[in-house]
Amino acid sequence: MNGLAKKRWKYARPLITTALLVSGIFQLAKPVLAQVATPAPPGTEISNTATATYEDPANPGVAINATSNTVVIQIAEVAGITVTPADVPTTDVNGGTVQPGNIVNYDFTVTNVGNDPTTIFIPGTATVTNGTAGTLQYSTDGVNFTDVPAAGVATPSINPGATVIVRVPVTVNLNAQPEDEVTVVLGNTGPNDNSAATQNQPDADGTDGADEVRTIDNVGTANGDASPAAPANREREASASQSVTVGALVAILNAPDNAPEAVGPDGTTDTDFTNASTTVPPGIPQDTPANPEPRTITNTVQNSSTTDPVIISLLPTPPANPGDLPLGTVVTITIPTTGDIARYTYTATGFEFVEGTGTSATDPPKLTLQPNGSPDATADYQVTIDLPANTPQLTGYPVPITAFTDTDGDGLPTAGEPANITIDRLFTGFLSLVKAARILAADGTTVIQDFTTETALLSAQTAPGNIIEYRVTYANVAPAVDPAATGSINLTTANNLVITEDGTTNGNNWALDGNGDGVLDTINIPGTAADSSGGTITTTPSGDGEDVTQYVDTVVEVAPGGTGTFTFQRRLP
C-alpha cells in the first residue's frame, strides 16, 4: 500500500466501520436477519471514483470529461454474535407434559454474525427460574454434543454465518405449580429480555464474565483470521431467554380395591380406607393380647393424567399417630404385574426394609400406568399385614400406604412429588363378647346380687334354690359407616353370629354332676333362655328340659354399633 493509500485508509477506516455498525450489517438483533448475505471478508477494498462531463460555452456540444480522485475503503475485521432460542420445548425429555421433577432441554442457537472466523465462549452456567440447570452442552453440528465445564469453554473457530447449539438441561422444581414459568437465560447482557439490546452488544474490556456468551478473537491469523489485530468493534456478547409452562400436575390415585376415586371422612383422597378383620387363635379371652393371623388387603392405583404415563412407587408409612400401630408389625407389598415384593418392619423410627424381590431400601415396589383412558391406567397391588404377638384384641391398626412418583429417585415420597395415601386398617376382631352373671332368689324375680364378674360377690349368694342368670353381651365394635367416605371399605355387619354355651367342655362345669349324686350341679330353668335381638336358640338335649347342658344362640347379623344379649338361668339344687 503506497503512502497515499495508507493516508486515505487512516481516515476512512473509522468511517466505514461506524457506517457498517450503524447500518446493522454486523449487529443482527433478530434471527430473521441471519438470512442477510454474508458480509464481505475483512480486507476487501471498496473503491469509488466519480466522473463528470461539462461543456465550454465557447465550444457548445462538446463534452469535456472530468474524473475525481479515487477513494478506497477497506472492510475492517468486525466481530458479531447473536443468541436465539433454537426450539422452545413443549414437553419433557420423555415426551410428556412438563411436570415438577421433569427434565426439560432448552436449546439456543449461537451465530457468528461477524465477518471473520471467531472462537465463542460458552458459559458453564445459565440463569434458571423455577428449576435447576444440569451440565450444559454445545454442538457444532446439531447432533454431537460436548459437555461444558462449570467454568465455561471456548469453542473451536466458528466461521461467519455458522452456528453453535447450546443445550441447557433443566430439572423443574418439585414445588413448581401449574402455570408456573420455567425460564432459562443463556448469557448476560443486562436486559436479558430478547430485545435488540440483548444481541451483539459490546463486551466491555476486563469484564469477561463466566455467565456470558461472547466472541473471543482468534489468535493472530489462525483459522483464517484476517489480521493479528483485534476486531474494529472489539469483542461482542449476546443473550437470550426462553420459557416453558408447567402443565397440570399429574395426579395419581391410591385407594381401596376397584375404587380408585374413593374418599375418606374428610372428603379427600388421602384418608380413604379399607377396614378389614383378622382372626386370633381360639380360646383366648378378648381382654387378653393375642397373636393375630396375617391378612392380605387389595388396593387399586390409577393414573389420572390423560397425557402422561407415570411410574408409581409404593411404601408403607407411619400412621398420623405413630403409636396406633404396634412395633414389630410386618407389612409386605406385592405387585402381581411386576413381581416386585418388599417386606418392611415397623420400628420406633418408622418402617425399615427387611427383604424383597426386585426392590431395596432405596428402590420400593413400582409399577407403570399408562394415561387415563387406557386399559392399563389402573392396577392392583396387595398389602399383607402381620401384627405381632401380644397385640390387643378388638382394635383397628392403621397402615397407611403412600403411592408416589419418585421424581428425585431417592426412594422416598418428597414434598412436591405427586402422591396419594390410602389406609389399610386391620382389626383384631370386631365383635365383642362380655360375660356376666347375677343371683336371683328362688322366686326368679328378686335380685340378690346384680350382674357382675366378681367371683366373691357371686359366691356369697350361692344358697341352694337360688338362681344364677348368665348374660352374654355382644356388640359390633366396627366404626360407624361415615356417609362422607364414599368408596372406602368399611367393616359392616357381623354375619351368622353363633354363641355357644356348653356347660361340659372348655373348662365349663355348670352342666356336670360334680358330686356324683345324679343331679346336675345347676339345673336349666325352662323358658328362660332368650336373645334380645331375636336370635334363634337351640338346646342339647332338645326340648328345653331341666337336663339341658348346651345352648346355641344364632343371630343372623349384627350391624355396626349393634348390640344384643343372650341370657339363660340355672337353679342351684
The pLDDT tens digits for 252-268 are 999 999 999 999 999 99
CA dist 307 and 252 (Å) reads 13
Q: Cell numbers of 510, please?
A: 355348670
Residue 383 and residue 358 share a domain = yes
pLDDT (0 to 100) of residue 23: 37
Residue 389 and residue 267 share a domain = yes
DSSP letters spanning 99-122: -TT-EEEEEEEEEE-SSS-EEEEE
**CATH classification of the domain holding 112:** 2.60.40
- The dihedral over CA atoms of 148, 152, 156, 160, expressed in degrees to the nearest 10, equals 110
Residue 331 and residue 264 share a domain = yes
Residue 98 and residue 52 share a domain = no
CB atoms within 10 A of CB 176: 21
**Range(s) of the domain holding residue 29:** 3-74
* Number of domains the chain contains: 4
In the block, residue with C-alpha cell 365394635: 477
Note the pLDDT tens digit of each residue in 107-141.
Answer: 999 999 999 999 999 999 999 999 999 999 999 99
Residue 171 and residue 218 share a domain = yes
CA dist 238 and 440 (Å) reads 103
Residue 37 and residue 52 share a domain = yes
Residue 401 and residue 263 share a domain = yes
Contacts of 475 (CB under 8 A, 6+ apart): 431, 432, 434, 558, 561, 562, 563, 564
Contacts of 418 (CB under 8 A, 6+ apart): 99, 100, 249, 250, 251, 252, 310, 404, 405
Confidence of residue 206 (pLDDT cuts 50, 70, 90): low
**CATH classification of the domain holding 284:** 2.60.40.2310
Cβ atoms 419, 407 nearer than 8 A: no
Q: Which of 427, 457, 484 is the last residue of a domain?
A: 427
Note the pLDDT tens digit of each residue in 62-97.
Answer: 998 888 898 888 888 899 999 999 988 888 887 878
CA dist 403 and 381 (Å) reads 11
pLDDT (0 to 100) of residue 286: 95
Residue 563 and residue 452 share a domain = yes
Say what percent of the chain tops pLDDT 70.
93
Residue 497 and residue 470 share a domain = yes
Using DSSP's 3-state secondary structure scheme, residue 22 falls into helix
Confidence of residue 56 (pLDDT cuts 50, 70, 90): confident
Residue 493 has pLDDT above 90, yes or no: yes
Mean pLDDT over 297-304 rounds to 96
Q: Which of 48, 74, 100 is the last residue of a domain?
A: 74
CB atoms within 10 A of CB 517: 9
Average pLDDT for the chain? 90
Mean pLDDT over 242-252 rounds to 89
Residue 437 and residue 418 share a domain = no
In the block, residue with C-alpha cell 466458528: 158
Residue 250 has pLDDT above 90, yes or no: no
Residue 448 and residue 412 share a domain = no
Which segments of 314-465 does DSSP mark as H helices, in order? 455-459
Note the pLDDT tens digit of each residue in 273-282.
Answer: 999 999 999 9
Note the pLDDT tens digit of each residue in 402-455.
Answer: 999 998 889 999 887 889 999 999 999 999 999 999 999 999 999 999 999 999
CA dist 548 and 520 (Å) reads 9
Say what percent of the chain tops pLDDT 90.
73
Residue 459 and residue 330 share a domain = no
pTM: 0.72
Q: Which of 427, 450, 466 is the last residue of a domain?
A: 427
Closest CA to 428 of 398, 385, 399, 396: 396
